[in-house]
Structure 1
Amino acid sequence: MTASTHPETQTALWVYAHPRGSSLNAHVYREGVSTLAQDHRILTSDLYAQGFDPVLRESDLGRFSGSPGGVADLLGEAFTEQQLLPDVREEQWKIAEAELLVLQFPLWWYGMPAILKGWFDRVLTAGFAHGEVDPRTGLPLRYGDGGLSGRRALIIVTAGEDARSIGPRGISGDLDSLLFPLTHGALWYSGVETYALHTIYDADDLDTERVDDEIQRLRDRLRGLSDERTRPFRRLSDGQYRGTRALHPDLAPGRTDLGIDLAGD
């Protein structure tokens, strides 16, 4: 973990998942952190460098290991009783400190690297990121009202394909849809609002000039991020998902694509 102290500014946590220090991703990571540190207090989680264990094990349950019940519920008990392992508690502390999360990774097999998926599995536990119920409505506090509400996230992803092949009609599938389990299923579920993806296309074939262009584009994006709007996902608490938690038939009628979860679509 690295930190830059700006007590009067917001805190950002940059979570980075790439194994090579000489990679394009490593260059983007260093330049991005340096830019954001100009007006943020910075915390970092370089998952490969710190040897983060992505495997959720029985030992993650602390004294609840071997107890009957579902893993999610037992992790919530372990969180409440301060039984989680030190590496998980450290990551939770960093998230709790941050108003902005930056998640950076290469697109591998149309998803995030396993080490980052494991970070979500182990760190976003019940009790910390989700699991509470609104006493007024009886609804679970999720999809916009989770334990991490009030935070925003920028996802930076490098892809070996071009914008057409991984676009809305591309042969590889639309990137927004491919990462829906992250933006909506993990982050929005926990209350984290997300900005539009920041994608670096053709990442395997960029020459020096194009790399410099991408670094400048990222710097500009980070400096203007506070003026951007986040994705307008529908909230569970708004009453638009009724009974079975399916979207009310009067909203986006006849549609079944993932875009129906965006308000106004």
Structure 2
Amino acid sequence: MQFLKLFPETHRNLDCLKAASIYVVISKEYAMAGKKVLIVYAHQEPKSMNGSLKNVAVDVFQKQGCSVDISDLYSMNFIAAATRNDITGELCNPQHFRYGAETMEAFKKGVLCEEIIKEQKKVQEADLVIFQFPLYWFSFPAIMKGWIDRVFVQGFAFDFPSIYYNGLLKEKLAILSFTTGGTEEMFSKNGVSGDIRYLLWPMQHGIMHFCGFKVLAPQISYAPEYTGDKERKDMLLSWAKRLETIWEEQPIECTPPWYFQ
């Protein structure tokens, strides 16, 4: 304190720095408070690791002041099959049904079924979409893939030439958070299941990036069924800690050169 009395300029500078730090913190909190998050969740058991990861995300985002919406696909009895029933108006060509062409026109006319319209509204309002799921056969569960097939129709999620960096959802972030049955070693470069980055390319590049999403690095919880309580708790803590600064993350490169080597 004697030092500060002798050098009042230093004292003023410290006050300015302190005020600036407080301003930055408040600014970040204010910015986060206006964010909207959609969690597309696919697991049958609320007490599962996926259920816990979903709950952690809800808790963290609500504490940030974000609004959180959840599409709990199993609880909703969401229909995975893409059929003519997705269109409430007249078909363009009832003699030769083409799902992609018909849903594109139905979206333009506003005659998609209510279930799809509701989900599209959630996506449209979201700043961040989290896909929370168990990895099934190196991919999404069928119910989640069906959600993507039916919700991300042409005209809403993409169009031509509005794809990839110009995709219609380019102002939004997306992240895959999922559990695996195999261990991290099994999904390594020399593991029996191969490098997991290659498995994710069709999902992250072929779907999310194709529609314009800025894709964040995946959150992978390896083999929770075969680990102890401490390891499972660490998975949840790791996810919670990451979500505290998720808005500061930069998107990954969805077409990395290593994929083609």
TM-score using structure 2 length: 0.82
- 21, 35, 49: which one pairs with 2:46? 21
**Which of 224, 241, 244 does residue 245 from structure 2 map onto?**
224
Q: 1:23 to 1:112 in 2, by over 3 A?
A: same
Give the structure with higher Rg (CA): 2
2:177 counterpart letter in structure 1 = I
| Residue 64 to residue 186, structure 1, CA distance change in 2 (3 Å) | farther
Q: Which runs of 5+ in 1 are unaligned?
A: 1-5, 134-139, 235-250, 261-265
Q: Distance in 2 between matches of 1:202 and 1:7?
A: 32
After superposition, where does 1:36-115 map in structure 2 within 5 Å?
36-39=61-64, 40-65=66-91, 66=94, 68=96, 70-115=98-143
Question: 2:150 corresponds to which residue?
Answer: 122
Aligned residues: 228
User: Where does residue 190 of structure 2 map in the other structure?
Assistant: 169
For residue 168 of structure 2, give the secondary structure of its aligned residue in structure 1. Answer: coil
Report which stretch shifted further, 115-124 or 179-188.
Answer: 179-188
Partner SS for 1:12:
strand
Structure with more helix by fraction: 2
SS in 2 for 1:37: helix
SS of the residue 1:75 aligns to: helix
How large is the RMSD of aligned CA atoms in angstroms?
Answer: 2.0
SS in 2 for 1:38: helix
Give 2:204's aligned amino acid: T
Corresponding residue SS for 2:63: coil
Percentage of pairs with the same residue: 28
Q: Does structure 2 retain, via aligned residues, the 8 Å contact 1:64–1:74? A: no
In the TM superposition, what is the alpha-carbon distance from 1:169 to its structure 2 partner?
Answer: 2.7
- 1:173, CA displacement in angstroms? 2.1
Q: CA deviation at 1:193?
A: 1.2
- C-alpha distance in 2 between matches for 1:27 and 1:225: 18
Q: CA deviation at 1:68?
A: 4.3
Q: Give distance in 2, aligned partners of 1:13 and 1:187.
A: 14
Distance 1:203 1:259, change over 3 A: farther
Regions of 4+ moved over 4 Å: none
Please report how far the alpha carbon of residue 7 of structure 1 lies from its aligned counterpart in structure 2 after TM superposition.
9.5
Q: Which amino acid aligns with 2:123?
A: I
Question: Normalization by structure 1: what TM-score?
Answer: 0.80
